[in-house]
Copies of this chain bind each other. A is one copy, B any other.
Amino acid sequence: MHSCEAEIRPRYAETDQMGVIYHGNYFTWFEVGRSEFFRTLGYSYKQLEDEGIILPVVECKCKYIKSAKYDVPVIVRTTIEELKGVRITLKYEVLRKEDRELLAKGTTLHAFVDKELKPVKIKRVNPQIWEMLSAAR
C-alpha cells in the first residue's frame, strides 16, 4: 500500500479567532496531501487534468481530535481507502510533525470525470493511471 506524507506549515491566514486552524481549511490540507500522493505515484494531478480527466470531490468528511496551531508543522498522510470503476476514496491523517500525535482524520470520495463532467471508466481511458492506483491501494 502506497502512502505519502506531505509536510505543511500552518499559515496565519488559516487560523481563526479561536486561536486554532479553521476547520474548513483541513480540506485544503487534504488537497495538498492528495496532490503530493499523485505526484509521488509518478502521475501528478495536474498532468491528469491536462489530459482531460478531473476528479471532483463528491463527498468529504473530517473528524477533529486536537487543534492544529499556527506555525507548528503538521504531516498529512494520504492513502487509498477504496478504488472502484469510476470512483476513488482517499484517506487522510493529519499528524503533528514533532510527536506524530493525530490531530484529525478524514476522507474524500472522488469521481473520475471528463471536462463535461461525464463519468469516465478510468481503467479503459487511462490504463496506466489505473494500474498505478491499483498497485498503490
Binding site for B on A (CB under 8 A): 9, 11-13, 15-20, 22-25, 27-28, 31-32, 35, 44-46, 54, 56-64, 67, 70-71, 117
Give chain B nearest CB distance to A17 CB in angstroms: 4
Work out how many copies of this chain go into the complex. Answer: 4
Pair A70/B46 contact, Cβ less than 8 Å: yes
> 8 new A-B pairs (CB below 8 Å) besides A17-B70, A46-B70?
A12-B22, A13-B28, A17-B17, A24-B24, A24-B31, A27-B27, A44-B71, A56-B64
Residue of B nearest to A54 (CB): B18
Pair B63/A59 contact, Cβ less than 8 Å: yes
By a CB distance below 8 angstroms, the chain B residues around A22 are 12-13
By a CB distance below 8 angstroms, the chain B residues around A62 are 59-61
